[in-house]
Every structure is written in C-alpha cells, then in structure tokens.
C-alpha cells in the first residue's frame, strides 16, 4: 500500500523558512538515507538547515539512545537467515552496526525464551498435579518444586527483558537494505541519472544571490545577527512575496497530483523522531531537544506526517495515502520528508515522487541533474535516494535543492503502521497462510522535497538576474505573487 506526502518546511538557522516536500507511505522493506552537501556561502548556508531545501538530516546510526521505551518490529529471523547479505549491506553503507552482536543476542534470546517456555510448561504440570488428591509428603514435594520453578522463572524472565532491550538497541543501528541498482561507495560514486535543461548563458558580469539581495534590498543579515546570531536573516520586500509565492505554488501544484494538504505540529515526542530513524540525543544529532521534556523540535515534516498513522492498521482500499505538508524545520543541518504504500508498489511511487519534483523544477526553467545517491550517502532508513542538484550560476556550481527517498518498511516497523490486505489481492497460497487476510503487513514509506524555499530563492535570483540588476519572476509564480513580474532596483 502507498502513503505519500508533500511538505513545506523552514530552517533551524533561519527565521523559519518554509520548505515544501512530498511524502508517501508504502508496504514492507527497510533501508536508510543521508546526504552531506558541501557548505554554501551566506544565504545558502543560512537557509540550508530547512528540510526541503538541503540534504536530509542523517540519522546518527552509531549512537542509539539507551533505555528505549518502544520496540521496533525488526525481522530478526530474516536478518539471521540472510546474514551474509546484511553484512555486505552494512559494509557498503559504511555503517557502524554490529551484526555479529545482534545475531549473538538473538540466539541467546531464543535460547532463554525456550527455557522460559519449558519452565512455564513444568509449572503448569505441577499446578495440575496439585489439584488432585495427594499424600501430604507428595504435596510438600510439589510445593517445593513449584517454588524452585517460580524462582528460576523470575530470574530468566528478567534476563529475557534485559536481552530484549539490548537486542532492540543494537538492532536499531542496522540500516535498511539497499536497492540493487544503487551505486556502491561514497558521494563521488553517485551516478547522474538524468540532466534537465542547460545552464543559462550570460552576456554580462553576473552576481551571486547575496549581492543581488543587498542591491535589491531583499535580505538583512546584520540585523538578524544581532537578534538571533550568525547564519540567520530577515527577508524583506519582494523576497517575502517570493517565499510565500513558492509555498503556495508548490502546494497548489502537488495538490493537483492528488495529495492532501497538511500543516503539522512542530514539536513531537522524542520517540517519534527515533522511530523515523533519527537520533535526537546522539553525539552528532541534528535535532533540537527541549530540555527537561521528552519532546523535540521537528527537523522535517516527515516526522509528524509519519506519526499520523502510528500504531494503526489501514485498510488496503485507503492506500496509497498522499500528503503535502507544510512546516518549519528546526535543525543544525539539512532534512527530508515522507509517504506510504504497499511493498510491491514502492519503487513505482518513488518514480512518481521524483517525477513530480522534475516537473516542478522544469516549469521554473531551472537547469538541474538527478543523482542516484551511492550507498555511503544513504541514511539508515533509505532503501534508495535520488537527489536533485540545480545550477547556481552566481556560486558557479550545482547545489542540492531536493531529494526523494524510498524507506520501504524501515520506518513503518518502528511506527507500527500496517495495512490489512483484501482477500482479492492475495494468491491462493497466501490466503491460506494469512487466514483469510486476517494477518496485517507493514506499509512502505517514501518522502520527497517539493520545494526547498531557501535554496529555490537562491536559484531563482541567480538564474533570472538581468543586466540592469533586476530579477525576472518566472511565469508560474506570478499568480502567487500578486502578478509581480520583476524585482527592480529601488530608486
């Protein structure tokens, strides 16, 4: 089944810059994603912390918070039965997950479970014997035997709880599996999937977005630095209209694709952040936690959107679920969003998401390339991730403006999002195994960026600048900016 969503978000380092993303939820499979973009100057750096504009915040998979209160439905048997493939996947992703320890803990847990079950059976036998007529000495013997069994059970059940917690903590470091077509290696090994358009040729000396913003009175970094610190900014005049126009344009366009619009809570429980594959209190966390509480500021709308259907069973007929969500984004770096569907459909919905992104950016006349990110640049939840990098002529290079990730069932196993297959969609063999479709399956979740507002502002200013210092507004945005066609220098 599929659940998709589009979200608009804002940066942690900026004054809540809106970004747009779309997100989907699908059936089984598990993976991870993350992308480190090179630092961008000034406004780009200031805006790069918004989830839809920059790289997805990478989960700190090597630092799992201890004392986890929730349990992920990890398929330990599958991991054990496919340990060679899992080991290769961990190596290819350059993950710190300790597969040997996970398997050792799992085997130990199975052995303790068997012993607990054996003792419970013996306890029942003793209890049944006590119901009959017995000699006094025989009754005393059974009472003593029952006490011994109880003591051993108490000890083993405590061991079982500890083993379960330890196994959960270590297993949560294991990343999702990887799509077979994903390039192996680091960022340099990522493959260009498609190039759209050509760089604009200028007949005059061009400016970067910072100079354009100063000349056109669009930004105020100095006042923001006094009020909030470095890397913050005020948008002014037409830049405000551009930001609002981008948000409304992106939401409007994605709604045409059948997505339901949402605004989301911007504070969530830490457990929801963890279930989405992020570590809010790890050493290298990008999440802002609220001191003295179990809550965090969201770094991406992917988190609250994923939580909408947490611990629920969806009907197959309701899938795919598609959302376009708008939120502020609070984080020290970059981020992403998500969606949901059935397992066999997640690849096709991933193509749908990247197709929507391509249509959006093409309609604005941008030159960009779509990149199939390599294994070491995937975050823990991502099975596969495509990044979109647009040409920024003032900076003289490409910069990431969007991404789209298929997380298969990695997040849904943690969030507890399932669906109940309809009997008509099952083969005869599966019908028997599932007991008339009574058994549920995990959905697959996907996420993508519809519009990273700060990066888009950078792209538009630099690509649409004119020789007289003005900036032309692309036609698709004009209806969302009160008909404004050009940002001209103030006299």
Higher pLDDT, 1 or 130: 130
Average pLDDT of the segment spanning 195-219: 96
Among 130-134, 184-188, 197-201, which is the least confidently predicted range?
130-134
Average pLDDT of the segment spanning 120-138: 87
Q: What is the pLDDT of residue 98?
A: 96
Among 20-34, 131-145, 162-176, 449-463, which is the least confidently predicted range?
20-34
Q: How high does pLDDT run on average in the chain?
A: 83
Q: How confident is the model at residue 340 (pLDDT cuts 50, 70, 90)?
A: low
Condensed to tens digits (0 to 9), the pLDDT of residues 387-404 reads: 999 999 999 999 999 999
Rounded to two decimals, the pTM is: 0.82
Neighbours of 486 (CB within 10 A): 13
Q: What is the pLDDT of residue 137?
A: 85
Q: How confident is the model at residue 148 (pLDDT cuts 50, 70, 90)?
A: very high
d(C-alpha 153, C-alpha 150), whole Å:
5
Among 14-18, 265-269, 342-346, which is the least confidently predicted range?
14-18
Beta-bridged to residue 403, according to DSSP, are: 387
479-487 contacts at long range (C-beta below 8 A, 24 or more positions apart): 480/244, 480/245, 480/246, 480/248, 480/249, 480/252, 481/238, 481/241, 481/242, 481/244, 481/245, 482/241, 484/238, 484/241, 487/216, 487/218, 487/238, 487/242
Q: What is the pLDDT of residue 129?
A: 86
Q: What is the pLDDT of residue 419?
A: 96
Average pLDDT of the segment spanning 102-128: 94
Burial 360-398 (b: 16+ CB within 10 A, else e): bbeebebbbbbbbbbbbbbbbbbbbbbbbbbbbbbbeeb
Condensed to tens digits (0 to 9), the pLDDT of residues 267-310 reads: 999 999 999 988 766 666 778 889 999 999 998 899 999 999 99
């Amino acid at each position: 089944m599929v659940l998709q969503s589009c979200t608009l978000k804002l940066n942690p380092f900026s004054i809540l810059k809106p970004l747009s993303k779309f997100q989907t939820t699908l059936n089984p499979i598990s993976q991870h994603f993350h992308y480190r973009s090179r630092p961008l100057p000034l406004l780009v750096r200031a805006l790069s912390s918004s989830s839809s504009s920059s790289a997805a915040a990478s989960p700190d998979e090597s630092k799992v918070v201890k004392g986890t209160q929730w349990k992920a439905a990890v398929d330990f048997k599958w991991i054990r039965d496919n340990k060679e493939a899992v080991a290769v996947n961990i190596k290819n992703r350059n993950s710190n997950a300790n597969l040997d320890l996970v398997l050792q803990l799992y085997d130990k847990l199975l052995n303790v479970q068997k012993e607990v079950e054996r003792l419970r059976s013996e306890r029942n036998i003793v209890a049944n014997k006590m119901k009959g007529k017995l000699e006094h000495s025989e009754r005393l013997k059974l009472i003593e035997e029952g006490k011994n069994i109880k003591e051993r059970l108490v000890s083993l059940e405590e061991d079982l709880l500890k083993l379960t917690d330890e196994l959960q903590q270590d297993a949560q470091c294991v990343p999702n599996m990887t799509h077979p077509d994903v390039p192996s290696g680091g960022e340099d090994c990522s493959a260009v999937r498609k190039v759209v358009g050509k760089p604009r040729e200028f007949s005059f000396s061009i400016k970067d977005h910072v100079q354009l913003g100063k000349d056109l009175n669009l930004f105020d970094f100095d006042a923001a630095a006094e009020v909030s610190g470095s890397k913050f900014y005020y948008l002014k005049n037409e830049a405000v209209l551009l930001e609002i126009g981008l948000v409304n344009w992106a939401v409007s366009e994605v709604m045409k694709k059948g997505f339901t619009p949402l605004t989301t809570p911007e504070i969530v429980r830490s457990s929801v952040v963890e279930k989405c594959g992020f570590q809010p209190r790890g050493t290298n966390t990008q999440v802002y936690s609220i001191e003295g509480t179990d809550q965090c500021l969201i770094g991406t709308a992917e988190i609250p959107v994923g939580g909408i259907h947490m611990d629920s069973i969806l009907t197959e007929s309701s899938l795919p679920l598609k959302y376009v969500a708008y939120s502020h984004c609070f984080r020290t770096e970059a981020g992403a969003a998500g969606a949901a569907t059935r397992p066999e459909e997640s690849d096709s919905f991933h193509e749908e998401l990247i197709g929507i992104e391509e249509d959006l950016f093409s309609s604005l006349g941008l030159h960009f390339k779509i990149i199939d990110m390599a294994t070491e640049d995937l975050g823990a939840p991502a099975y596969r991730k495509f990044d979109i990098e647009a040409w920024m002529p003032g900076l003289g290079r490409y910069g990431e403006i969007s991404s789209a990730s298929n997380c298969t069932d990695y997040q849904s196993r943690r969030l507890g999002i399932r669906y109940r297959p309809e009997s008509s969609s099952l083969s005869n063999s599966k019908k028997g195994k599932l007991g008339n479709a009574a058994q549920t399956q995990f959905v697959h979740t996907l996420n993508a960026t519809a519009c990273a507002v700060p990066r888009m502002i950078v792209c538009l200013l630099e690509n649409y600048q004119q020789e007289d210092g003005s900036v032309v507004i692309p036609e698709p945005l004009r209806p969302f900016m009160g008909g404004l066609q050009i940002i001209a220098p103030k006299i």
